[in-house]
């Protein structure tokens, strides 16, 4: 099954006998909050999920968006109506990062059928509603470990045995600028692969073969392990999703640069070259 769904496909499935659970994960780094936009209009039946409060733990030494406690995450998903045997579709405003974070967490936690609305709300041509649903509680209980997860030590060692991709903007990778974290640069050995280059001008993912060619050119050869990091484990999930579309499994360093750069003892590389 493809990990993304088009707006027309979602309209068809939503009108069927067993429509998917819809999660609205509108989110922008630094705000504004997504809930007011959700309340102003969302897909019928969609439940709002707050990325900062419900798809991440408290910020700290583990980064700006550390993984949430699995039990707390499971409770949020059950309140939203998520069950183990019912498909889930997640969407955001169009950038795709918030939706990809929800997709990654659900897949990592063991849900077998999760897709992202390709292009997000911007691609939707159906009706919107202001009505906030009250779904029947679901039965989903996380069983973490279905997707690869790296910690800081794992990320440090990864380039010696595989391909570690940095999904942030190239200028942050090089260390030219760093608007958020303590210091600019990248994990030594990581390869720059901005996640913005995985989508077209409309925010739709590039075709699977185009994405496969892109990642192959970056070093994702047959048999080479691949992992991704970003600023705080959000846009990196979007890149893992792009790799999934391309047929390339990849792990995620969830703490990402916000965790790595918080420790002055960890090495930092700058410039365009991996090391």
Q: How far apart are CA 252 and CA 216, in angstroms?
A: 18
Closest CA to 110 of 80, 125, 88: 88
Is 230 in the active site? yes
Residue 197 DSSP SS3: helix
- Bridge partner residues of 182 (DSSP): none
State the CB neighbour count (10 A cutoff) for residue 13: 16
Of 230, 241, 242, 243, catalytic: 230
Closest CA to 155 of 26, 34, 43, 269: 269
Q: How far apart are CA 112 and CA 115, in angstroms?
A: 10
What single DSSP character describes residue 29? T
User: Which active-site residues does the annotation give?
Assistant: 230
């Amino acid at each position: 099954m493809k990990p993304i769904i088009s707006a027309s496909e979602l309209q068809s499935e939503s009108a069927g006998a067993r429509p998917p659970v819809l999660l609205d994960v509108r989110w922008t780094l630094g705000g504004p909050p997504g809930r007011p936009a959700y309340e102003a209009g969302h897909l019928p039946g969609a439940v709002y999920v707050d990325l900062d409060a419900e798809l991440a733990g408290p910020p700290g030494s583990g980064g700006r968006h550390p993984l949430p406690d699995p039990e707390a995450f499971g409770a949020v998903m059950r309140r939203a109506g998520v069950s183990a045997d019912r498909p889930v579709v997640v969407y955001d405003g169009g950038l795709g990062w918030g939706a990809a974070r929800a997709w990654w967490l659900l897949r990592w936690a063991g849900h077998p059928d999760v897709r992202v609305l390709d292009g997000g709300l911007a691609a939707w041509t159906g009706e919107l509603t202001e009505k906030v649903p009250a779904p029947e509680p679901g039965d989903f209980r996380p069983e973490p470990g279905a997707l690869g997860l790296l910690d800081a030590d794992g990320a440090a060692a990864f380039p010696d045995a595989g391909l570690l991709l940095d999904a942030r903007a190239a200028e942050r990778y090089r260390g030219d600028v760093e608007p958020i974290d303590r210091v600019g640069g990248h994990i030594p050995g990581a390869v720059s692969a901005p996640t913005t280059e995985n989508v077209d001008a409309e925010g739709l993912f590039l075709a699977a073969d185009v994405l496969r060619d892109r990642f192959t050119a970056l070093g994702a050869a047959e048999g080479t392990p691949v992992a991704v990091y970003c600023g705080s484990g959000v846009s990196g999930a979007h890149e893992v999703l792009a790799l999934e579309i391309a047929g390339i499994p990849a792990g995620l360093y969830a703490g990402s640069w916000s965790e790595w750069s918080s420790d002055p003892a960890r090495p930092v590389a700058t410039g365009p070259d991996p090391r």
